[in-house]
Amino acid sequence: MNLVRTAMLLAFMTALFMAVGYLIGGSGGMMIALVIAAAMNMFSYWNADKMVLRMHHAVEVDARSAPEYYGIVRQLAERADLPMPKVYLIKNDQPNAFATGRNPSNAAVAATTGLLARLTHEEVAGVMAHELAHVKHRDTLTMTITATLAGAIAMLGNFALFFRGGRDNPLGIVGALLAMFLAPVAAAMVQMAISRTREYSADRGGAEICGNPMWLASALGKIAGAAKNIVNDDAERNPATAHMFIINPLAGLRMDNLFTTHPPTESRIAALRQMAGEFSGGADFSNERGPADAVASSGPWGRNPGKPRPKGPWS
């Protein structure tokens, strides 16, 4: 089903790209858009994940540079029977996370420093389990390709007035205006359509992976509250990637937020609370401490509050 869904998405986004090309340059513009869209589809399949990570200035980490964070992902990947994904850290105060990659063997997960600083060990596990559920469900290919094509469509719409419609375009300047205003809206609606139902599915899958729905429920409440008050500059510059995050990273500064790509956080939390009775307990992450974490176990991160925290991506 995911292969069929991805193929249908590619076909629709390609048709939308061609329609924008026609509105700008007539039949010639449509053919040029078809060639560009075909090239972008191929490029996106192999490289869109790297592009998204670069857009958000993500830095790869390992067991030495981020022992706790990396250890959580490693144990969750084992519980989910998934290959170990690449692990990235984004220096950003807004708590958030996303997954990307064309398949589970080429997947990556990324979390912001704000998320690691504000959430407990268990809440981070709930968030990363949600992202691994996206990987397991093979949502990441569709979500990443959509981000690339939606961004391209929005960019093409922004150039519409510059071209002012080709001579072969019967709509002329009207076509250019339609492309400018309708193309980004259409791309946003596609993002909304493919993302909202998948978040519920990934919430349930994440709860099954980590073993405790309340970890993710608690994390969603904290992330949603903080995300409204902290602007994510990289996300604002690249709104086409918003649907990839666990919580909408846009602060409502643009019209993109009119078409929210995520279901209401309150509904997601309510669904997770209903699931809580089905679970007896979550995974034990007590063994996921690296050498830099060898301190007395106490509190949500397994540290004695009276002792200083080691420096690194967690501080």
| DSSP collapsed to 3 states, the chain | CHHHHHHHHHHHHHHHHHHHHHHHHHHHHHHHHHHHHHHHHHHHHHHHHHHHHHHCCEEEECCCCCHHHHHHHHHHHHHCCCCCCEEEEECCCCCCEEEEECCHHHEEEEEEHHHHHHCCHHHHHHHHHHHHHHHHCCHHHHHHHHHHHHHHHHHHHHCHHHHCCCCCCCCHHHHHHHHHHHHHHHHHHHHHHHHHHHHHHHHHHHHHHHCCHHHHHHHHHHHHHHHCCCCCHHHHHCHHHHHHECCCCCCCCCHHHHCCCCCCHHHHHHHHHHHHCCCCCCCCCCCCCCHHHCCCCCCCCCCCCCCCCCCCCCC
130 is an annotated ligand-binding site residue: yes
Evaluate whether 158 touches 180 at the Cβ level (below 8 Å): yes
Residue 240's φ and ψ, nearest 5 degrees, are -70, -15
Choose, from 68, 122, 123, 131, the residue flagged as catalytic.
131
Please indicate whether residue 236 is annotated as part of the active site. no
Ligand-binding site membership of 243 (annotated): no
The verdict on whether residue 199 carries a ligand-binding annotation is yes
Decide if 239 contacts 168 (C-beta within 8 A). Answer: no
Radius of gyration of the chain (CA): 21
Rounded Cα gap, residues 126 and 59, in angstroms: 22
Binding residues for Zn(2+): 130, 134, 199
Positions marked active-site: 131
Binding residues: 130, 134, 199
